[in-house]
Homo-oligomer: A and B are copies of this chain.
Amino acid sequence: MTQQTYTLTVLCADQSGLIAAVTGCIAKTGGNILNLAQHTATDLGMFFCRVSFAGTASFTEDLFKETFTKTAEHYSMEWQFFNNTRKKRVAVLVSKTSHCLYEILLKHADEELDCDIPVIISNHPDLAHIATSFHIPFFQVDVAKGKEAYEKDLEVILAQYNIDLIVLARYMQVMTPEFCARWDNKIINIHHGFLPAFKGAKPYHQAWQKGVKIIGATGHFATADLDQGPIIFQDVIRVADTCSVDEFIRMGKDVERRVLVEAVRRYLSHSIFLHGGRTFVIE
């Protein structure tokens, strides 16, 4: 389909006539709605909406933005507008573990992740061969030179490749608060525990020690406060008490890779709204 499509997201206080106003703007400027997902949180008095639409011959981005700006001001809406032709550019950061990287690259190769992946960055050389076999440039950054210097190197690469989103695919380094602030809500991390339980190191060991019967993984935005960023997606798997920690780790890998891809997919489809310190993923 060569037809141009757009996505509009809207977040505001609930009021009468919001959907009619949003859809009216689209219709008036020559847009044809393909999909509308909306949630009115009556307990919060908040309205969340995502609309995808195609442009007919008369539609122009400029006209739409001009028209919608007035509507948005009238209702005090926060809004974002995306031309779906321009794919998001995603950098994948890895350390030594390959399962999450492979999952992202395979899903991307099967056209199941609608983005570009122009670069893979690591603090170790171990996974360079995977990057090579998928024909993606691989950069190794030197963590030993100190957080500040190495994050500066990182920023150079991210800028060079014009990156929109950073995916930490089991990247075993904590970012500085400054880095997190610069990439606010633009870094997705996979934590191998079912947050908010089992923060920090060795979550599978913690889970085993506690004797939990279900383990999980969490895809979340990285923030300065480690493993505390807004949760995007989670999944779990039942474990038997006959499992060792090593089996938790093995079984958890399948959950981690799925959760990370699903979190990234929700980002790419503009499904994630942030309000009151948590996400509202409206699908």
Contact = CB atoms under 8 A, between A and B. Distances in A.
B27 A34 contact: no
A185 interface: no
Contacts of A241: 39, 279-282
Contacts of A281: 213, 241
Contact of A43 (B17, B56, B235, B245): B245
Contact of A244 (B16, B41, B283): B41
Contacts of A36: 19, 36, 38
A197 B244 CA distance: 22
A115 to B, nearest CB: 16
Counted per complex, copies of this chain come to: 4
Nearest to A1: B42
Nearest to A220: B211
A35 interface: yes
Contacts of A240: 283
A231 B208 CA distance: 11
Contacts of A254: 258
Nearest to A230: B211
A106 B112 contact: no
Nearest to A111: B250
Contacts of A195: 197, 210, 212
Interface of A: 16-21, 23-24, 26-27, 32-43, 56, 98-99, 102, 106, 110, 112, 133, 194-198, 209-214, 216, 230-231, 233-236, 240-242, 244-246, 250, 253-254, 258, 277-283
Closest 7 CB pairs of A and B: A211-B278, A20-B27, A197-B197, A20-B23, A16-B32, A213-B234, A241-B280
